[in-house]
Amino acid sequence: MRLSKKSEYGLRALIELTKAYDRHAVRRSDIAKSQQIPVGFLEAILLELKRAGILGSRSGVQGGYRLIKPPEDVSLGQVIRILDGPLAPIACVSQTAYQTCQDCPYAEARECPIQSVMFEVRNAVANVLDRYTLRAFYDRGSQRRTQKSPKHGRGNALNRIQ
C-alpha cells in the first residue's frame, strides 16, 4: 500500500487542526504554510473532510477550519478511507467496497491463493491505521519532536512534524 499525496496532506493538515482543537479555527493559508501544502490542493482535501463530517468551517475574520469531532474519535483509517477509498489492495477483500472478481479463475473456487494473502495484508494495514486516532498520531509526533534528532539526514517524517 502506498499513501497518496492527498491522504498524506490530509493527515498533515489534521495535525494542525488537532493542535488547535477546542481553542480556535485555523485558516487554510496557515495550514498550507505550516505543513507546506499547496493551498488549492489543501482546499479540496479540507472540503472532502468537511463533507464527511470531520471538519467544520466558518468564514470571516475569526474563520477557518476546525475539527468538529474529538481527535480521540477519528482514526487514521477513517481519514484515509475518506480521502483515498478502501484500504484493501484488491476489491474482493474490501470491507467497505467489496466487489466480486469478474475475470479471476478463482472467482467460483472455494479458496483463492491471492485473496487469502491480500486479506491478511488488508487486515494488517487496517489494524494499524484504525488503532491510531488523530490524538495519538499528534501526541506520537510531539513526543518524537522532543527527542534528539538524528545526526545525519533529515530523519523520518514523524521527526519533522511541526
So what's the pLDDT on residue 161?
Answer: 43
User: What's the domain count of the chain?
Assistant: 1
pLDDT tens digit string along 35-67?
999 999 999 999 999 999 999 998 888 789 999
Flag whether the pTM goes above 0.85.
Answer: no
By the 8 A CB rule, do 160 and 32 touch? no
Q: What is the CATH number of the domain that holds 98?
A: 1.10.10.10
In a domain, 77, yes or no: yes
DSSP string, 30-52: HHHHHHT--HHHHHHHHHHHHHT
